[in-house]
Amino acid sequence: MKVSVIGAGNVGGTLAQRIAEADLADVVLLDIAEGIAKGKGLDLSDARYVAGHNRRILGTSDYKDISDSAVVVVTAGLARKPGMTRVDLLKKNAAIMQTVIPLITEKAPDSIILIVTNPLDILTNLALKLSKFSPKKVIGMGGVLDSSRFANLIAEHLDVPVTSVEAMVIGAHSKGMIPLTGFSKVAGKLLSNIVSAETCMELAHATAQRGAQIVASLGQGSAYYAPSAAACSMVRAIIKDEKTVVPACVYCHGEYSIEDACIGVPVRIGAQGVEEIIELDLNPKDKETLINSAQSVKEAASNLL
């Protein structure tokens, strides 16, 4: 089993490490900056003995090496800088996507594509159009990351183990995300029954601001530990055919009254990619926000083609 990671920056390199050390698959780490990919590949390979695994890790700049990949994860692109929004990244990262996706479809036509590059929802829509893959085989990662951040903030606020929290965030991977307080739980109890509506709103707002907070704190670069962990969990669900229900950016065709657009919704993922879209009974405000976000993302993506 092989997983290829396009982009050997902080997210890509850390993701390659996570996949190999979890013994999920052999890894191809690809970057146009050949030395970076090769160097990280060699370094990760040297860690195999002490990390206790036998997975092969290849650093390369040649797309022929991604052939026969089960999953291709796209992390390539510019990271946000302080004061920069995800939309600011769009033009340059869309150009990168327009180069990368045709090469993936040529060299790994049977793969599932997992998009991590921001702005994630727009680029997932673009990747689907460029690849002409089945909508089941093009997935954006954002919702898992946002839900992990939401769960962590809930756990910190309530001083409980994060493993006791079930969190769900849908919608765009941006400030317009929708943390679902009515579908999130702590030790099996609904969050909305544990804390006040005001606190729920504060936690939701903090979740939406978390990425920008990390960018501002770092000063240079953006988050990569949590994004790589989120991507790795999705790779695991696909490779091991776990049928896991997670929020992910996927193509909707009528679900949630959304037509012909990729947006973050709960889905069941496994070896075939998106195996089912789960339709939750959203309140009118959340549903309207979701529909409006999907329309905005769809329009932005269409302007790139």
Indicate which residues carry an active-site annotation: 173
Give the count of beta carbons closer than 10 Å to the beta carbon of residue 52: 9
Torsion of CA 202, 204, 208, 210, to 10 degrees: 70
Query: How far is 141 from 285, CA to CA, in rounded Å?
Result: 24
Rounded to 5 degrees, what angle do the CA atoms 215, 114, 118 make? 30
Query: How far is 34 from 108, CA to CA, in rounded Å?
Result: 20
Contact in structure between 243 and 266 (CB atoms under 8 Å):
no
Residues in the chain: 305
Give the count of beta carbons closer than 10 Å to the beta carbon of residue 244: 18
Contacts of 303 (CB under 8 A, 6+ apart): none
| 8-state DSSP, 269 | E
Contact in structure between 176 and 151 (CB atoms under 8 Å):
no
